[in-house]
Structure 1
Amino acid sequence: MSRLTDLIARARARDSALGDELEREFKALASRRAFGLNFERHRPESVELPGRPVRRGDKVRVLPPRGKTQRGDQRLWRVTRIEGDGEARMAQITLIDAETPETADVAVADLVVVAEFRDFIYPGLVSTGSVSRGGDKPFHTVINGENFHVLEALTYTHRGKIDAIYIDPPYNTGARDWKYNNDYVESEDLYRHSKWLAFIERRLMVSRELLKPKSSTLIVTIDEKEYLRLGLLLEQIFPEATIQMISSVINPKGSARSGRFSRVDEYIYFVFLGAAAVAPWRSDMLREVEGEGRKVRWAGLMRNGEGSRRQRIPSMFFPIFIDAKTGAYHSTGEPPPAEVQPEDVPCPPGTLAIWPIDQSGQELMWRLSPPSFREYLKIGHAKFGKRDKVTGQRSVSYLQTGIRQMIESGEVVAVGRDAEGALELEFADAFGTRNPATIWNLVAHSASEHGAGLLKSLVPGRRFPYPKSVYAVEDCLRFVLGKNPDAVVLDFFSGSGTTAHAVMRLNRQDGGRRQCISVTNNEVAADEQAALRKAGLRPGDPDWEKWGICDYITKPRIAAAITGKTPEGKDIEGDYKFTDEFPMAEGFEENAEFFTLTYESHVAVGANFAFQRIAPLLWMRAGSEGRRIDDLPEGGWALADTYGLLVDLDRAGAFCDAVAAQGGLRVAYVVTDDDRRFQAVARALPDGVEPVRLYESYLSNFRFSMGR
């Protein structure tokens, strides 16, 4: 080894960069295990960034001429000078790591910026739209970008804050389903297994920093191509974790293998960190549930008996209006004066009234006041019975205090909601006593019907290869997050957006406020790229990007799930099934915002010139809730719903007073280069508010990022 050390030292004396590379490879070889998973980690990955402006000092590739389908020059160049304006801008570039110097003058429009994964990045986010139907709920976020770089961005916003990661990574089938260094990994590639391991390892190493060490779960799906290697890799990256592998039937019809067994299943690894555990469920996942649990009793809303007459408590005698044609709830009226008869109270157009009047015509009263009834309906604690075919009337029921207390204590659990939003309840002793088995065989998990079929309903005419059943992902997350209604979930291979969809279904079932961070790139399918190139298009062109995964599938699918409408504005046809059945056209009371990852200059960040791109990261770090501060405040400071920003330290007193007066803030960002003044502001902030120094905390986070 000493001889190699001497040779490396001599190489460094001639070329310091070469010496550093040789030493890095030497250390990697020296640290290899004598037993375990050994694989080539290959040269660091690189990714092209179409649409990113070319700057002096950037690494770039030269694109092929428009209209050509062949690959461009894959060598890396450095931009040394840029001259000219507009479309006439020209760049002088120098070949990187060339034995003999080589330079060229190329139109800037024919260059694409390249980021290598050994390079430091300074990320930002640009919003590309949002959907808001969830009131004050946290926002789900969808980020379009290279997932390794997005993971590094999340080390600033979510380090140690993620409750569960669910990923469905490329299965390495050899069918051009993923790229390594801008090139599809084919089945004939002799290094395809080690490339896949290097690809996955880099991302899992960063994601390890995001999971909560005290209690969190990593869930990874895979098939027979790489499940053995993945298992060893997980053991090596998470030595302190408990790991189990599940076999799940996702294709009952079977996928033929010539001369081999027909494959009907895939595998799911659960990596449990800290106190993370599996919660029991009403199904063991191997056998379909037979029969139903004990029924929870709903009480009639109308009082009866001598003490229930209208005149006793007139304020409890009021109409409930329903649609005259459909019977759907419309509104709740107010109690009329004692001398006014029910038939004299006008109904809103197209409605009829339900009064607390018994069959003998006695005017009685409801058990709830109008405000209480409205609140019960909102939270699912009141519901309507079937319509009378003759009168159109419906009975009204509610949950009494005893049952509501059982829900709070966990003795009664919500297993879903009916089509009108009322809770579907079961006693816990009938609901959650079965431990799930390690083999899952449920109709709900069939990918063709409840993955591809459901996606077809949400975004008609848009195809995505092999989407997961939303119910399969929902079940995976339920076992580890069912008792955590405020969980943060991450999927950095989000594809069509199934994980976010599953999180929204879980929230609807128990009123949770879970949020999902979905990460995907905007890669155009391999079989579509040739036609686009022939048409003279390139990555980065609007007419190219509109066909990418994120813009064409992920964002429209999540928007459709929330709004209940297809991208064309039509009501989604069909119903959700199984645990929670209701029309898909109802959508979800959720919020989502869509972002694209940007790459900032550390100089611009430090000089406070990149605030608008950094702003979404500050908002995400504070919980992705409520209003966001998108511009530097003219008054020197500003408060949002969950965080504050101070840019003028001469206004620190007023800022700290406002933070204390508002209450509920989690983070206070202070822009200063003076650590002494920052510490003074930090001491003046209320307890429970985290002080964060900008931009020192941001720059140091990425300057010393762990993924190198």
Structure 2
Amino acid sequence: MTSDLDRRVTELKDLLPEAFTDGEFDPAKAAEVLGIATTGEREHYGLRWAGKQEAQASLQVGSVATLRPNLAKSIDYDTARNLVIEGDNLEVLRLLQRGYNDKVKLIYIDPPYNTGNTNWLYNDDFSDGLIAYLEATGQVAEDGNRKSSKTEAAGRRHSGWLSMMYPRLALARNLLAQDGVIFVSIDDNEVHNLRHLMDEVFGPENFVGTVIWQKVYSPKSSARHFSEDHDYLVVYARNANEWTPNLLPRTAEMDAAYKNPDNDPRGPWKSGDLSARNFYSKGTYPITCPSGRVIDGPPKGNYWRVSEESFREMDADGRIWWGTDGNATPSVKRFLSEVKQGRVPQTLWTYKEVGHNQDAKKQLLERVTFETSDSVFDTPKPTGLIRRMLTLATSPDGDDIVLDFFAGSGSTADGVLQANAEDGGNRRFISVQFPEPTGHSDYGTVADITRTRVAAAIEATQNTGNAATCPAGTFEFRYLELAASNFKVWDSSTAPTSEPELAEALALYSSNLAADADDHAIVAEVVLKEGATLDLPWRDVSLAGERTVLVGNKLAICLARNVTTELTDALVDLGVPRVVMLDAAFTDKDQAKSNAFYRLKNADITMRTV
């Protein structure tokens, strides 16, 4: 029976896996993760790098940003089940914490490989991620260029990469369901550090395996030492005790080994050896063949796999094969109908099974038209690779969420759409991509490529296979962009101190709505604040002449700028358990808000204002 202490340790391990080393709780590491200063330092095994404490402390930082809908870039926004998000994935992951905690079934990411000869745009400013993002995308000060060269000394380069990956993986772990799994693409430059890092974030006991993907179909003759033919997929479960991969479909070659030479009514079968080297006390007895030949016992040094009694029962049931002449050494008939209807996944994925780099580029070009070959995305992944992960980690009817927060060319979303169209599934995807400049005129940012490919994939798949049986919204997406909040935030550090200036500043906050706030943006932000998911259907209703948006069937967001008794009564009649209203809508804030609150409370409706 599990003790209370064991239970509490298990709970702590789930909340703070980084605080355990080799399965033992490490107070110093716990303090480090929580940003608590400690005196002295005990030596312990673990991954350390310059900037680790800052990266860990960043997990305690909230976000003042939001995700703003872009209807023009969406496909059927109000009913879409999928999300394409443009923005810094660290800030986006922070915003998804409440609504998607413990809900994502599969995460696949293809982060920067840190090869040392390219730039990346994830040189994080942990103190204020939104401002850093706005600067990097040219939305504020022009001198805010966050590009960070990776052509540095190896130690600094690895440290920068680890600091970039750590908070993203930690936040992503929170989103994984207990039976969820994450696959991370990587190459030899960082695979060793990634394993250590993921051991720390997910716990070494949740390591599933390292897959080798054969990414090229021919050797590179220009290689100085070895032709690099593979990448890795590092696989961790949220809880290895809860996650089991689905079986892969059996291949035609596997089934071809089964024949039926004796026309057995149970169908095709293949023979299996009756003897084995493992000692079995009942496995040494003579056998008489139907032809009359006596076999004194199993081959020298071996044993029959079954007892004599079991052997006779199997023979009586027609499960022993004696050869066409009844004189062969007996073997066991293993029927195709009785074997495992699938194959256990292996850690070597060949290009013949899941595709290679050239397949990936060809698939991208089928979806996206580039002006010149120079502007083609360099490192897409083949959809066959994505489909393999989907087969292992999702089911057609599981309503599973698939997250890719380094979306790149959009291969993951494309793979999800293909899988749903093929089996009529209800999987949903969330694709997050930084608007990294491409330097080309056809697609200004990588996020433009992502959106273009997803839209093309929808057009190509929505009328194929079993797409007609998929839920509404499967072949649609909501496009959202990382942006400043729709609600003003008072910053006391920059507030004026003189009385006239202070009065003038306070007057600006008589309404907490930002000047550019629109209804769709407000609804999206409220959904995030309320911890609901961004893929719930939206439906407009008019109550007392005012606009209210129903999100799913449990949340009503009232967008009225003036709340009346008539409107409150209409919200009661609507019967939704949660109502959110704009704080700016109450002219007499104390009295009017109190009246609305208690009127709704008496009807068992929870009311909140923003």
**TM-score interval (norm. to shorter):** 0.5 to 0.7
CA deviation map 1:440-460 (0-9, x unaligned) = 124243333321011111112
Q: TM-score, normalised by structure 2?
A: 0.60
Q: Quick one: which of 554, 562, 577 aligns to 2:458?
A: 562
C-alpha deviations, 1:547-587, integer Å up to 9, x for none?
Answer: 11112x1111111111239xxxxxx9xx99xxx899xxxxx
Deviation at 1:241, TM superposition (A): 2.7
Contact 1:471 1:502 in 2 (8 A): yes
Q: Give yes or no for contact 1:458–1:560 (8 Å, CA) kept in 2.
A: yes
Map of 1:403-442 to 2, 5 A cutoff?
A: 432-442=341-351
Structure-2 residue corresponding to 1:207: 172
The answer to whether structure 1 residue 693 and structure 2 residue 608 are counterparts is yes
SS of residue paired to 2:425: coil
Measured in 1, the distance between the counterparts of 2:338 and 2:524 equals 44
Q: Which amino acid aligns with 2:216?
A: N
CA distance in structure 1 between the aligned counterparts of 2:600 and 2:113, rounded to whole angstroms:
50
1:121 is matched with 64
What do the CA deviations read for 1:215-242 (whole angstroms, capped 9, x no partner)? 2111211111111110111111112634
Q: Does residue 684 of the first structure (1) align with residue 603 of the second (2)? A: yes
Kindly state the Cα deviation for residue 147 of structure 1 after the two structures are TM-superposed: 1.1
The answer to whether the Cα contact below 8 Å between 1:44 and 1:117 also exists between their aligned partners in 2 is no
Q: Alpha carbons of 1:520 and 1:638: their partners in 2 closer, same or farther (altered >3 Å)?
A: closer
Q: Which residue of 1 aligns with 2:29?
A: none
* Cα distance change, pair 205–165 in 1 and its aligned pair in 2 (3 A): same
Query: CA separation of 1:258/1:447 partners in 2, compared to 1, >3 Å: closer, same or farther?
Result: closer
Q: Percent identity?
A: 23
- Counterpart code for 2:523: A
Matches within 5 A, 1:172-183: 172-179=114-121, 180=123, 182-183=146-147
- Counterpart of 2:96? 154
Structure 2 match to 1:607? 512
List aligned pairs for 1:49-60, cutoff 5 A.
none
Superimposed CA distance per residue, residues 353-393 of structure 1 (whole angstroms, 9 cap, x where no aligned partner): xxxxxxxxxxxxxxxxxxxxxxxxxxxxxxxxxxxxxxxxx
Describe the shift of the 1:680–1:169 C-alpha distance in structure 2 as closer, same or farther (beyond 3 A).
Answer: farther
Cα deviation, 1:25-79, whole Å, max 9, x if unaligned, reads 993896786211111117969xxxxxxxxxxxxxxxxxxxxxxxxxxxxxxxxxx
Q: Structure 1 152/29 Cα, relative in aligned 2: closer, same or farther at 3 Å? A: farther
Aligned counterpart in structure 2 of residue 232 of structure 1, from 189, 196, 208? 196
Counterpart Cα distance in 2 of 1:622 and 1:581 = 26
Q: Against the structure 1 CA distance between its residues 681 and 188, is the aligned structure 2 distance closer, same or farther, given a 3 Å change threshold?
A: same
Structure 1 CA distance for aligned equivalents of residues 250 and 598 of structure 2: 54
Select the residue among 51, 55, 61 that pairs with 1:41: 51
Quote the Cα distance in structure 2 between the aligned partners of 1:476 and 1:127.
30
Residues 569-584 of structure 1: pairs in structure 2 closer than 5 A: none
Give, in whole Å, the separation in 2 of the partners of 1:220 and 1:120. 25
Summarize the alignment of residues 592-671 of structure 1 with structure 2, pairs less than 5 Å apart.
Answer: 592-600=477-485, 602-603=487-488, 607-609=512-514, 610=517, 612=519, 613-618=521-526, 621-627=532-538, 635=546, 637-642=548-553, 643-646=555-558, 648=563, 650=565, 651-659=567-575, 668-671=579-582
Match for 2:384: what amino acid? Y
Indicate how the Cα distance of structure 1 residues 437 and 510 shifts in structure 2: closer, same or farther if over 3 A, else same.
same
Match of 2:266 in 1: none
- In the TM superposition, residue 600 of structure 1 has moved relative to its aligned partner by 2.3
Unaligned runs of 5+ in 1: 1-22, 46-114, 295-426, 533-542, 566-571, 583-587, 661-665, 696-708
Matches within 5 A, 1:436-455: 436-455=345-364
Return the TM-score normalized by structure 1.
0.52
Alpha-carbon contact 1:157-1:618 (below 8 Å) kept: no
Who is 1:550 aligned against? 447
User: In the superposition, relative to structure 1, how do residues 192 and 692 fare at CA in structure 2: closer, same or farther (>3 Å)?
Assistant: farther
Q: Secondary structure at the match of 1:129?
A: helix
Amino acid at match of 1:201: Y
Distance 1:132 1:557, change over 3 A: same
The Cα of 1:255 is off from its aligned counterpart by 4.8
> Could you say which structure has the higher strand fraction?
1
SS in 1 for 2:488: helix
Determine if contact 1:159/1:209 at 8 Å carries over to the other structure: yes
**Kindly tell me: are residues 446 and 640 of structure 1, through their superposed partners in 2, closer, same or farther at Cα, counting changes over 3 Å?**
closer
Distance 1:623 1:24 in 2: 29
Structure 1 pair 512/561, CA: closer, same or farther in 2 (3 Å)? same
1:57 aligns with none
Residue 237 of structure 1 aligns to a residue in which SS? helix
Structure 2 SS opposite 1:684: coil
Answer with 466-475 or 628-637: which moved more. Answer: 628-637
Measure how far apart 1:293 and its partner are: 11
Cα deviation for residue 675 of structure 1 reads 8.9
Q: Is 1:245 the equivalent of 2:210?
A: yes
Q: How does 1:147-296 map to 2 (within 5 A)?
A: 147-179=89-121, 180=123, 182-190=146-154, 191-212=156-177, 214-239=178-203, 241-255=206-220, 258-274=223-239, 275-283=242-250
Q: Secondary structure at the match of 1:281?
A: coil
> What is the deviation of 1:464?
0.2
Alignment of 1:222-371 (within 5 A): 222-239=186-203, 241-255=206-220, 258-274=223-239, 275-283=242-250
CA shift, 1:277, in A, is 1.7
Q: Which one-letter code corresponds to 2:603 in the other structure? A: A
- Opposite residue 607 of structure 1, the aligned amino acid is N
Q: CA separation of 1:644/1:196 partners in 2, compared to 1, >3 Å: closer, same or farther? A: same
Conservation of the 8 A alpha-carbon contact between 1:138 and 1:623: no
Q: Does the CA-based 8 Å contact 2:70-2:479 persist in structure 1? A: yes
- Structure 1 distance, partners of 2:544, 2:54, is 41
Q: 1:670, CA displacement in angstroms? A: 4.7
Distance 1:633 1:32 in 2: 66
Please give the secondary structure, in 1, of the residue aligned with 2:538. Answer: coil
CA distance in 2, matches of 1:225, 1:37: 16
Deviations 1:645-664 (A, max 9, x none): 2464844443243236xxxx
The alpha-carbon deviation at position 160 of structure 1 amounts to 2.6
- Judging changes above 3 Å, is the alpha-carbon distance between structure 1 residues 116 and 436 closer, same or farther for their aligned structure 2 residues? closer
**Cα separation, 2, equivalents of 1:602 and 1:250:** 47
Shift of 1:502: 0.9
Deviations 1:465-496 (A, max 9, x none): 11000110111122010255311111110000
The amino acid across from 2:390 in the alignment is L
How large is the Cα RMSD of the aligned pairs?
Answer: 4.4
The correspondence for 2:419, drawn from 489, 506, 519, is 506
Shift of 1:185: 3.1
Aligned 1:99-118 pairs, distance under 5 A: none
Matches within 5 A, 1:2-151: 27=37, 34-41=44-51, 120-130=63-73, 132=75, 138-151=80-93
Counterpart amino acid of 1:153? L
Unaligned runs of 5+ in 2: 1-32, 125-145, 260-335, 468-472, 491-510, 584-588
Name the count of aligned residue pairs: 427
Which residue identity is paired with 1:174?
Answer: G
Which string of whole-angstrom CA distances, capped at 9 and with x for unpartnered residues, describes residues 221-276 of structure 1? 11111111101111111126343211111212245684433221111122112322
C-alpha spacing 1:628/1:41, structure 2 compared with 1 (3 Å): farther
1:480 equivalenced with 2:430 (yes/no)? no
Offset, 1:150: 1.1
Separation in 1 of the partners of 2:455 and 2:607?
A: 33
Specify the SS of the correspondent of 2:72.
strand
Change (3 A) 1:456 1:471: same
Give the CA deviation at 1:121: 2.3
Q: Is the 8 A contact 1:644 1:659 kept in 2?
A: no
